[in-house]
């Protein structure tokens, strides 16, 4: 790690972070600041680990401001955004100076599928929209890069569990990673039979309960989650950028949280907490007419899957201290500081 850091080897970006004991800051491996002495450096895996040790993010390289994706991943994602229906094969990756095995491992580790599986899911997600708009299965299959309609139907059934004609009669879920100053988030939009419905998830990628939450959302909607683009995700990304820039205090993108009646009641009260203000769990319990139900309110708070927009970060202990937050207490503190400074 020291050799990689001293050589500013960008291929290790995101693999580990550098903490400098003498300054109390942590950096990306490619930070342009002067190289510290070896004895004054320790290495950690993530920004979360660095913050837990008391280090502050470097203002030059801003280690927590992006998703720490290597440059080759950004180039690859750019290719996919320019032509989502293009089918990049191994030889195309090599022309982009990307080793196919490296792409396979990276996408497998972060998305649970190979790069080619990721591409296929994106194309099928866009195919869902096209079929809903009335296009024929044969034309959609060709546009999605499949050589035959039967191959398209087989891939579709494996992903969605139903044949195309049946799956398009119910909703589907589209997911996208969104970079924020506090780390990458996974956002999911649900689309109903009659079009856009709302955001069902907006969570930090390092949240421990993320896999469980994804399973719950899949089961509730009886649908697969596919990577792709969606107008609600575009709106969400823009509003989050404005929020972090201190120019937005509320969100307009529609939400469609999966909740029990009690959770829905608690989350509605969370959304009523004004920007830059806080409430205790006891305050929330009283507000919904459930005095003495602070613990139940706390559990409902922890079950919130739409961070920031349903502002569970504005709930603190009765003694005024910060309490648990699924995204980490350091993020909770940052969000509250952002709102206080943004007024």
DSSP helix/strand/coil, 201: strand
What residues contact residue 272 under an 8 Å CB cut-off, 6+ apart?
Answer: 287
Q: How far apart are CA 271 and CA 325, in angstroms?
A: 16
* Beta-bridge mates of residue 306: 202
Q: How far apart are CA 284 and CA 287, in angstroms?
A: 5
Helix axes 100-111, 71-82, angle to 10 degrees: 80
Q: Is the CB of residue 158 less than 8 Å from the CB of residue 99?
A: no
Considering the candidates 58, 61, 202, 312, report the single residue annotated as catalytic.
Answer: 312
Q: Which residue has the tokens 């922890």?
A: 302
Q: How far apart are CA 137 and CA 127, in angstroms?
A: 9
Sheet containing 17-20: order of strands: 41-44, 17-20, 25-27, 56-57
Helix or strand (DSSP H, E) at 42: strand 41-44
Catalytic site includes residue 27: no
Which residues participate in catalysis according to the annotation?
312
């Amino acid at each position: 790690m020291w050799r990689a850091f001293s050589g500013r080897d960008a291929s290790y970006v995101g693999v580990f972070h550098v903490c400098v004991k003498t300054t109390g800051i942590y950096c990306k491996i490619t930070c342009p600041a002067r190289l510290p002495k070896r004895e004054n450096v320790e290495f950690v895996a993530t920004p979360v680990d660095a913050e837990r040790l008391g280090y502050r993010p470097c203002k030059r390289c801003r280690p927590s401001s992006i998703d720490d994706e290597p440059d080759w991943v950004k180039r690859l994602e750019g290719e996919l955004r320019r032509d989502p229906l293009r089918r990049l094969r191994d030889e195309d990756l090599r022309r982009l100076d990307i080793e196919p095995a490296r792409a396979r491992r990276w996408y497998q580790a972060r998305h649970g599928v190979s790069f080619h599986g990721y591409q296929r899911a994106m194309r099928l997600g866009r195919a869902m929209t096209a079929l809903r708009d009335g296009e024929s299965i044969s034309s959609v299959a060709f546009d999605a890069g499949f050589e035959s309609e039967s191959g398209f139907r087989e891939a579709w059934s494996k992903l969605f569990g139903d044949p195309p004609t049946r799956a398009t009669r119910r909703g589907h879920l589209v997911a996208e990673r969104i970079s924020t100053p506090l780390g990458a988030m996974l956002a999911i939009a649900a689309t109903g039979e009659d079009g856009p419905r709302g955001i069902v998830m907006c969570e930090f990628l390092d949240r421990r309960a993320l896999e469980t939450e994804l399973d719950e959302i899949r089961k509730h909607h009886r649908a697969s989650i596919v990577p792709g683009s969606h107008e609600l995700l575009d709106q969400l990304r823009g509003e989050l950028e404005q929020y972090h820039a201190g120019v937005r205090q509320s969100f307009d993108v529609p939400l469609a949280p999966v909740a029990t009646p009690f959770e829905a009641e608690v989350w509605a009260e969370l959304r009523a907490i004004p920007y830059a203000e806080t409430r205790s769990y006891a305050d929330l319990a009283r507000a919904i007419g459930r005095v003495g139900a602070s613990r139940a309110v706390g559990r409902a708070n922890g079950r919130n899957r739409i961070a920031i927009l349903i502002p569970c970060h504005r709930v603190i202990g009765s003694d005024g201290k910060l309490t648990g937050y699924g995204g980490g207490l350091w993020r909770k503190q940052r969000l509250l500081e952002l709102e206080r400074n943004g007024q």
